[in-house]
Chains A and B, each alone.
Chain A
Amino acid sequence: MRPTSLSRSRFFRTALFGAAALVAGLLVDTVPGRAAEPIRIGELNSYKSQPAFLDPYRKGMQLALDQVNAAGGVLGRPLELIARDDGGNPGDAVRAAEELVTREKVDLITGTFLSHVGLAVADYAKRRKVFFLAAEPLTDKLTWSDGNRYTFRLRPSTYMQVAMLLPAATAAKRKRWALVYPNYEYGQSAAETFKTLLKAAQPDVEIVAEQATPLGKIDAGAVTQAIADAKPDAVFNVLFGPDLARFVREANTRGALDGAFVVSLLSGEPEYLDPLKDETPAGWVVTGYPWYAIPTPEHKAFLDAYQAAYGDHPRLGSIVGYTTIKSIAAGIEKAGSTDTEKLVAAFSGLAVDGPFGPFTFRASDHQATLGAYVGTLGVKEGRGVMLDPVYVDGASVLPSDAETAKLRPAAD
């Protein structure tokens, strides 16, 4: 269709009115209803840039929300979730947080996946004195070197995940280690932590190769070959997502890791394990979430409810989303209010029951003691699974409160 100049100018006027209406809509404040005023939870996350993790996460949140509200809500008020995309970068994320706080007048904020986004939002929370429960970012800085009074974190941190794998790494008694990790803070700090912990436990180890690969753009053939050429007898892997799949396939074809003992972060999480199917590298010791092999009643209840609601198995994201909402409900219940300071006080030492069992938010560093499963990868009916998974309580791998205090200079 080729509009004439007349219809074009009419279109233009219409568009202008439309734009004006939208701007007006932007300015109109939502007026909260009076009766049984809901508790407003502001949530922001990188839905578009990390859909593989966050799609299940959103489902997990919704499930918890429905359960809490069906049970009468919290403090007699229903929970209402206002979710925003944080654009996958701190700039948009801080704006989204501002929007949630100023326009939507949320009572607290939660969410975030990427570490740098989490840190930026945490810093915003500190400045605006808003309660922030970081759901997923892994960076140690969030609760330690840059931890603050208003920020708590649910998921086990990089340090905790590495520490969970350490017993298996040292038990293997290997001398020549190779490291491969994505070239950004998460990968670097995981590698550093691993080196430090390993050398403390086993002073005679030698790091024979160290490959830092660009995130999402690994040149897998070259990297696996370079590792094989260094002839390591053990490998510590931090790759995940598409990088992991490429790495595993190349390593399998080339026999690059034959005979090497591999410990690997996060690889047992269904988000990253499921795509590998029958190429799952058997024998790797990993952290993850074996939803098919957790016999506890609290997980069974969660699994049944999740499968009934979505007809699909949960991913780790589902657990995190679900537990986030449950934690918030528990925290508000304990605080008896949505007041920020009362929430901070309530979350310090808050005990929560989740699908993984009970855990607490430590008062010393605001880190949840939520754990993860450690197991060995294997293939079953063409699918990758974690064999003999063991739940490692987060509390068991965290430094003591006294040590933590030294790690947290900036807080309060």
Chain B
Amino acid sequence: MNAGAPVLEVRDLTKSYGGVRAVDGVSFDVAAGELLALIGPNGAGKSTCFNIVNGQLRPDAGAVRLGGRVITGLPPRRIAALGVGRTFQVAAVFGSMTAAQNVQTALAAARGGTFDLWRPARRLGREQALDLLAQTGMAAQADRPASTLAYGDVKRLELAMALAGEPRLLLMDEPTAGMAGTERREMIALVQALTRARGLAVLFTEHSMDVVFGHADRVIVLARGRLIANGGVDEVRRDPLVREVYLGGAPTEARP
């Protein structure tokens, strides 16, 4: 893949629910090594957009391409196998396993080892799992049951699991939701560092503006299902339309 080509290309996505266009002709790209924030008020269509890219939803029209290949409508696990990692707004991990086993399970899945019925899983991929946990700052928690982890640690664990598939693209739905100030900044700094180190493309949604404007390389803004801004942090911050939507605009949830 040449460096300049975008990892993710989204073209003219449209999705309606009962006559209401939740996403309306949205197009954007994410390049390798780029941290792209997707923002917008509640009900702007962020989650819908996200879930279409992830494969959980099928768009009415439009295309999603990953590294030039059309992935529109593929199920999430196929998209995952093509190199898309994902974290959820409410972090989801496997509560009955230790942190390391969570990552080991994700590693096994990424390597096509899910249907291994015989070899003990205990040692399989353990080294690499510990390595990933170390990268996300979870080394000390490796052998604790996931159900006993603090919420911030669950988010880090989920990130480690998302990285297990060696993704080209990372989709993060509110990576810092539910975290306190310092923790939040640490988390996004970690994501930023990993993006740079691995040459990842990251698309994330976020509510907290300090995270967005402090760390994103580029920001796209959705309102009422439409893309209203796409550009650098400062450019978007100054955009009058964005200011209106965020500061003084009509409520975006209620649509005629």
A–B contact with Cβ pairs below 8 Å: the answer is: no
Chain B interfacial positions (CB closer than 8 Å to A): none
Interface residues, chain A, with chain B CB atoms under 8 Å away: none
